[in-house]
Amino acid sequence: MKEYVLGIDLGTSAVKVSAVDRTGHIAAQESYDYPLSQPQPGYSEQNPDEWVNGTAVAIVRLILNHHIRPAEIAGISYSGQMHGLVLLDAQHKVLRPAMLWNDTRTTAQCQEIEAKLGDRFIEITGNRPLEGFTLPKILWVKENEPDIWAKAATFLLPKDYVRYRMTGKLAIDYSDATGTVMLDIKQGAWSQEILDAFDIPASMCPLLINSVTEVGPISETFAIFSGLHQSTRVFGGAADNAAAALGAGIIAPNMVLCSIGTSGVILKHEASADTAYHGVLQMEDHAVTGQSYSMGVTLAAGYSLSWYKRTFAAHEDFTHLVNEAAQSTIGANGLLFTPYIMGERTPYADANIRGSFIGIDGTHQRPDFTRAVLEGIIFSFRDLLDIYDAQHQTYDTIVSVGGGAKSPLWLQIQADVFNTPVVRLENEQGPGMGAAMLAAVGLGWFASFADCAKAFVHYGQTYQPNVANAQRYAALHQIYHQVYGQTKELSRQLLEYRTNLSSNLMNPNQKTKVKQL
């Protein structure tokens, strides 16, 4: 009989379920979209039951449309959007819509954490308190919705809620727990010091498990709902970045993941959780038990290119637009672009900084601007790799995934800017493949993740850095690296001008500071 594992990838806009066989071949995939609610600026919420319903529908479609028999589905595991807060009452009922990773209403709570614990917070969690993390969301509910807080008995993260609804078991895996910034990353336990500092009952924190821990079988209720057999074994799962790293084979300290989606991520496997980046980079537990990874985020990586196309080439083919950058030269004929169009996270935690084109003159053509955007995004990643270099962290392979892996030109730019070989995946499936690998190892199909990766992860072409090009890019990056410091005050003033202007237009009789700028 054939056997499959299901990798359930719970994203922000949709859930995707992949059926993978013992050879790593994806036999079938189905997905289901669900809505995102943004009731106020900075708010981003979803109904957790939409995730459960969407997952069930995708599984039903998988069984019916692809003729996969429920008895053939041996195991299931998960990848999930990180940091989202699902609050449950004592009967494990959802108390309010889930606050998602991109919900930014919690600036005051982040400041509160900084003021109360300062550097000690970074020592415990390996991270700075940022708006996207779970703890600031918990504090926001506590301070702004006391009636809901009074009923709150426990919390889960998104994929953990789906797993609870599928099995009836409450738990959170270590990779997602580190993203709550309530975990003592060195002790591998919820931090009593943090809980006491903010008067959060320890009883609210769910059981901690490893990503390959078997949680239990499918419950009778969900089996009826989805068509699955109750004999199907369910494993803990991982945060989406940890699962993506696993799905790209990032399981050794010499490997780095470069991911270009709407945002961009540089993620490095860490030999030890003791590496100190002082909160500039995020430190997280890996899906591989006992291992860690660090990561830095460029907020508007792929989004910068999407904005550029939408604004200046809305009706043109995306591939053609990217390829025309080859008509320009290294350094875009003296033109630089900084991708700070949504603010920035790493290495500059600055919501006010804005993007810029630097060096424009009358000779520049559109291919120069296109190449400057491509190069600027990769220069922002070079800033992240510089942090590793300063810590004497070594790596010899960079795996490129997402939008940056779809263009040979852009892949070569990455190799030259990083001055490191860059390889793409032949079978890129993102976090869903990592989720499937967790189930495969949990079932005992493979003795280790290294063995599983040999079967499930397939690398394609490797792009070697050109020595001359790497030297030119190194000199250009030294110029690029200065732009943030030179423009941050200008960005602040322009943002203040824009805010005051908007206020003045809405209240024409109200005096503002616009004329003073």
* Binding residue numbers: 82-83
For residue 66, CA distances in Å to 15, 60, 63, 191, 469 come to: 17, 10, 6, 46, 48
The closest of 108, 49, 81 to 242, measured between CA atoms, is: 81
Residues annotated in the binding site for substrate, as ranges? 82-83
Question: Which residue do the tokens 């019916």 mark?
Answer: 64
Name the residue among 126, 101, 124, 118 with its Cα closest to residue 294.
Answer: 126
The span from the CA of 266 to the CA of 346, in Å, is 10
Q: How far is CA 201 from CA 148, 149, 154, 197, in A?
A: 15, 11, 9, 11
Give Rg (Cα) of the chain.
23
Buried b (16+ CB within 10 A) or exposed e, 146-177: eeebeebebbbbbbbbbbbbbbbbbbbbbbbb
Tokens of 232: 């199907």
Helix (H, G, I), strand (E, B) or coil at 255: strand
Q: Which of 9, 21, 240, 383 is catalytic?
A: 240
Q: What are phi and psi of 173, to 5 degrees?
A: -85, 165
CA 12 – CA 1 distance, rounded (Å)? 35
- Is 240 part of the annotated catalytic residue set? yes
- Residue 470 and residue 392: Cα distance in Å, rounded? 20
Return the residue matching tokens 């005050």: 489
Q: Which of 108, 187, 179 is nearest to 141 (CA)?
A: 108
Buried b (16+ CB within 10 A) or exposed e, 207-228: ebbbbbbbbbbbbeebbebbbb
Residue 80's nearest CA partner among 17, 169, 152 is 17
Instruction: Please name which of 429, 356, 420 lies closest in space to residue 384, comparing C-alpha atoms.
Output: 420
Report the Cα–Cα distance between both ends of the chain, in Å, rounded.
74
List, by residue number, the catalytic residues: 240
